[in-house]
């Protein structure tokens, strides 16, 4: 079986694994208070050109998201997020379990727009209603789409005008930053967002996400909330080591570029056969709509998700490429359609 099911089905990129092997017998302090974590944090601060930022390492995206929200918000404050977002759809109410409402906004392409935020803000009357304090978005989104620099800046402006925070879930940030036509750089993102994370799990690490806080208001006592929310990882060094390996010589971006390149090849090949797509996504997740018969045939050899219920004739599927996908996987798929 050839895997186009997810970008976290394999272990780590060989260079990351090699770093873990090489450092295995080092002794270090726990909970990310070690030289590898310090070094990886410095690398990130250099990359975003912001020495005053704080970098915190998490073992996964869900704890990164809910720890940040628990740390940033007071009890009556809510977070605005696309209906398709990970925190709304696939974290079993983890945000509400911290006491906060998610106000979900329609997002046919995975993105939300300033007008939607403004409409929500206009509904606010008084202390009988939750207070909209934070926007949560993903870059790239759950639909594989990407916010342009102008789009991200518009959300950021709106937040600053309304005393809100902008948080960007970067589980697939590599794919976004290396997408064709993307014009948003990592320093741009760090400038526009109050907090975001650089995802490792879906781009070459065994596991690990690097949360970056740029707004000083969000920093006090962050490690307390991390520990309380299980965000502090005992052998934190493991995450530091992996990020050192990923960030050295731009490996992180090379891996993402590979994912995008193969997704593009899939997309172009599928389009050339006349199939349409549910959404136009320039990153490593694509959503072709194909006849059910063809999909059934493909399912014998390829592993992927049907993304929506079929309509009796066609069905939308999701194909995901990863750092470990190969040209021959794509060749094989294109040959079969």
Site for its own copies in 283-322 (CB under 8 A): 303
- Collect contacts of 295-299 with beta carbons under 8 A, ≥24 apart: 297/336, 298/333, 298/336, 298/337
Phi, psi dihedrals of residue 21, rounded to the nearest 5°: -65, -45
Strand order in the sheet with 54-58: 54-58, 209-213, 195-199, 165-169, 131-138, 77-82, 102-105
CA angle 183, 187, 189 (to 5 degrees): 65
Q: Which is nearer to its own copies, 282 or 324 (CB)?
A: 324
Part of the chain binding its own copies (CB under 8 A), chosen from 139-147, 222-230, 253-261, 280-288: 222-230
Does residue 60 interact with its own copies by CB under 8 A? yes
Of 74-82, 145-153, 161-169, 247-255, which part binds its own copies (CB under 8 A)? Answer: 74-82
Q: Which of 36, 37, 40, 61 binds its own copies (CB under 8 A)?
A: 61
> Does 165 help bind its own copies (rule: CB under 8 A)?
no
Judged by CB under 8 A, the residue of 36, 100, 267, 318 near its own copies is 100
CB 119 within 8 A of CB 112: no
- Span of 5-13, 44-52, 174-182, 263-271 interacting with its own copies by CB under 8 A: 5-13
- Two tokens at 255? 């891996």
Rg of the Cα trace of the chain?
20
- Closer by beta carbon to its own copies, 274 or else 328: 328
Stretch that binds its own copies, among 14-22, 107-115, 139-147, 271-279 (CB under 8 A): 14-22
CA distance 24 to 98: 35
Residue of 138, 139, 203, 229 that binds its own copies (CB under 8 A): 229
In whole angstroms, what is the distance from residue 310 CA to residue 39 CA? Answer: 49
Q: Which of 38, 42, 49, 93 binds its own copies (CB under 8 A)?
A: 93
Single residue of 35, 47, 50, 96 touching its own copies by CB under 8 A = 96
């Amino acid at each position: 079986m050839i895997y186009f099911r997810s970008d976290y089905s394999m272990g780590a990129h060989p260079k990351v694994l090699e770093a873990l092997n090489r450092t295995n017998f080092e002794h270090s302090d726990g909970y990310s208070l070690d030289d590898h974590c310090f070094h990886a944090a410095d690398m990130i601060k250099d990359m975003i050109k912001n020495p005053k930022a704080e970098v915190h390492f998490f073992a996964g995206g869900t704890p990164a998201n809910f720890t940040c929200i628990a740390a940033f918000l007071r009890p009556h404050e809510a977070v605005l997020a696309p209906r398709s977002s990970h925190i709304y759809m696939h974290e079993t109410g983890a945000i509400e379990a911290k006491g906060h409402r998610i106000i979900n906004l329609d997002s046919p392409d995975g993105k939300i727009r300033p007008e939607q935020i403004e409409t929500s803000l206009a509904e606010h009357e008084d202390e009988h209603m939750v207070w909209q304090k934070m926007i949560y978005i993903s870059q790239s989104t759950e639909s594989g789409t990407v916010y342009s620099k102008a789009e991200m800046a518009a959300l950021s402006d709106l937040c600053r005008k309304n005393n809100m925070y902008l948080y960007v879930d970067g589980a697939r940030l590599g794919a976004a930053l290396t997408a064709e036509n993307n014009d948003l750089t990592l320093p741009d993102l760090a400038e526009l967002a109050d907090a975001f994370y650089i995802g490792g799990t879906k781009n070459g690490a065994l596991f690990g996400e690097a949360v970056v806080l740029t707004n000083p208001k969000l920093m006090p006592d962050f490690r307390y909330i991390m520990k309380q929310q299980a965000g502090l990882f005992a052998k934190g060094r493991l995450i530091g080591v992996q990020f050192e390996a990923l960030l050295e010589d731009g490996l992180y971006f090379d891996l993402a570029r590979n994912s995008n390149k193969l997704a593009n090849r899939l997309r172009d090949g599928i389009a050339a056969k006349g199939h349409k797509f549910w959404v136009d996504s320039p990153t490593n997740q694509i959503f072709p709509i194909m006849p059910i018969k063809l999909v059934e045939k493909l399912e014998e050899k390829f592993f992927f998700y049907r993304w929506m219920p079929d309509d009796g004739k066609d069905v939308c599927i999701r194909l995901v490429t990863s750092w470990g996908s190969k040209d021959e996987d794509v060749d094989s798929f294109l040959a079969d359609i």
